[in-house]
Amino acid sequence: MNTKKEIKIVSLLRNKKAIFDYEIVSSYEAGIELLGYEVKSVKEKLINLKWSFIIIREGILFIQKFHISPYKNVTNKTAVDPLRERKLFLKKKDILYLSQKLKEKGFSLIPEEVYLKWNLIKVKVSLVKWKKKFEKKQILKEKSIDKQAKIESSRLFR
């Protein structure tokens, strides 16, 4: 009998555009500092990662342009910027490594995914490199070929 509990992970949002545009070198799990209503909005998937990126300032990670829509049932209607800068929590050793890599040409930090791990909101931070234009075209070509093969195989088995 297995006594260990399985880790419960629920994906809330993946940054598909970034996965297509970048080659992922390494990924890290980071916690994120959120306000109360932001937690509710994230759990209801009222979020957008499309143009977001991560910077390191004074040894601390910050996520920029991570859009969290205001929660609809908020009693306190004080206007808080949905694109405000939010702090990410990562091990100091990893932050030092990432800051060294960012000094090299061609590397960037992006949020790849937002997910729930147990009941905590986590961000998958990825160190990435731009893909070349021909690499993107090759991926699209392979997807097109796979799609055509599925269509042909479904016609054969009718």
Q: How many angstroms separate the most distant Cα atoms in the chain?
A: 62
In a domain, 156, yes or no: no
In a domain, 1, yes or no: no
CATH code of the domain in which 68 resides: 2.40.280.10
In a domain, 71, yes or no: yes
Q: Which of 117, 52, 109 is nearest to 86 (CA)?
A: 52
In a domain, 154, yes or no: no
* pLDDT tens per residue across all 158 residues of the chain: 555 677 788 888 888 887 778 888 899 999 999 888 888 888 888 899 888 899 999 989 999 999 888 877 766 656 677 888 999 999 999 999 999 988 888 888 999 999 998 889 999 999 988 777 666 677 777 778 877 777 777 766 65
| Phi/psi-derived region of residue 58, left when phi > 0, alpha when psi is between -120 and 50, beta in every other case | left
In a domain, 139, yes or no: no
In a domain, 145, yes or no: no
In a domain, 25, yes or no: yes
Q: How many angstroms separate the Cα of 6 from the Cα of each of 22, 31, 84?
A: 31, 20, 34
Question: In the structure encoding, which two tokens stand for residue 126, read together?
Answer: 């990825």
Residue in the structure block whose two tokens are 């957008």: 48
Q: How many domains does the chain have?
A: 1
Instruction: Give the global pTM.
Output: 0.73
Structural domain span for residue 21: 9-131
